Structure 1
C-alpha cells in the first residue's frame, strides 16, 4: 500500500462560488470535489466549468486530492464538462449516475480522447437502483476507474425511502457496493450527511461507515471534516495492536503458533495489521 492515498474526508465545493474555491485551500480535508452539477445553477454552469478547471490545474490545493464533478451523461453540459475536466488534469473526474459498465468504458474513452493525463482517474457515482444491480460490473469495467462514490440522497429518492438513523433502507445498496469495490480493488466513499447541525448524528453515521468498511465519506460542510478525519483513521489503540501483532509474528516465526494478547495470530491478522499501519503512516505524512 505504498501508493495509498487517504480519502477520509472528501468535501463538495460549488465551483460557481469563487470564495468557496479559495477557502478550500485552507480546509484540512483529504479530497475536494469541485462541483459542476447539483450545487450550480444552470445559467452559472459555463462559468463554473472554467473556474473548476482553473482551480484543478492551479496546483494551489497542496496535498488534497482534487477532483471535478461533471454534469451527468446526456445533459447539455456533459460533453463540454468532460473535455474541460480532462484538459485540467485533476486527480479524478466524478460522474453522477453511472449505471453500467458500458457507460464506464464510454466515459474512459471520452476522457482519453480529450487528452486526460494518466493520473486523472474516473470516479463513478452509484446512486440509482440500476447502478446497484450493476455495481460489480461497473467497478471492474476499467483500470482507469479508481473510486466508487455513493450518492445516498439520490438512492433514497429513487427507492421512495426515508432518511432514518441507522440507514436501514440503504444497507443493501451500501453493502453490495462495498463488496463490488473490494472485489475490484477500488476505493469507495460513503454518501453525505445532510443535517450539518446534528453533530452526533453525523459522527454516528461516520462510525457506521467506518465499521462497514468505507474508505471515507463525502461531505457538504467544512465543519464535518474533522469528524470524518478522525472516524476514518486508525485509532491509537488500533495502531498499537497492529504493531504488537507484527512484532509477535516476527518473533514467533518457526514456532508454529503465534499469539498476541492471548489471541492466535494468522496471516490474515498480519495483513490487516500491515494495512492499518500503512494507512496510519500515510495519514501521518499529511501532517494534519
Structure 2
C-alpha cells in the first residue's frame, strides 16, 4: 500500500465514482481502476461494491477510508511544514470572521498584517459563528473568530477581544434617557436581529431563554447599516457591540442592567497542523491585543 493508492482510493470513495475521481485527479480512469484493483489484491479484501454502475464502500472499505483520511492529512501537513522551513515567503491565511467584526474591527488589522507580510495571501470568509466553527472543524478554514462561550472541545482558542453587547435604540425611543435596560424591558420591544447562526442572535436567544421570554423579531438581516437605519427610524431596537455605534449614527447605546460581556476568540482545529502563515497571523493578533491593553492602561 502506498500514498498514491490511498489517494486514488480516497477520492473514489468521496466521489462514489471512478470517472469523477479521475476528472478531479486529472488522470485516466483506467489508471485509477487498475490502482484500486491492485490495492484490493494486495490486501486480499474487497473495498467497493460495484453494482449497476453505482459504487459504495464495503465494511472493509469504510475502515480503510478512515485511516486514509488521517494518513493523507498527515502527509499534507508534513509536506506543508517542510516547505515552511524555507521561511515565510509563501502561504495563505484562510480566516472566517463574523460580519460585525469584519466591518468594524478587522479591516485595519488585516491591512497591517498584509503590510508586514506582503508575500502571504489572505482569504477572508464572512459567515455566522456557527458556520465558521463547522468550517474550521472540517478543515475548510484554517482560523475562525468565535465567541468563547460556545467553544467546542475540538478547537483551540485564544481570546483577543472583550466587548459589551449594548442595547441600541433611536434618539427618540423611551429607553434613550435611561442608564440601562432590563432583559424584560428589552424583550417587550420589537427587535431587529441578525439571522440564526450569528453570535449576536445566539446571545439574544440565550438571554430570552434565561428569563423565559419569546423575542418579538420584526426584522431579520445581517446587514449592519440596515439594522442601524431601521432602529434609527424607530421600527425596532437591537443590540450591537459598542465598536459598531458611531457618533454620526443618531443612535443611543445602553448597557443591559445585567451587563453582557463577550470574549471573542480566534480558533483553530486542535488536530490539524497550523501553518507558519496562520501561526504568524495568530501571533500578530495577540500582539495587537497586548498593545491595545497597554494603551488602555496608559
TM-score range (shorter-chain normalised) is: under 0.3
Higher relative contact order (CA 8 A, sep 6+): 2
Compare CA radii of gyration and give the structure with the larger one. 2
TM-score (norm 2): 0.22
**Which structure features the higher share of strand residues?**
2
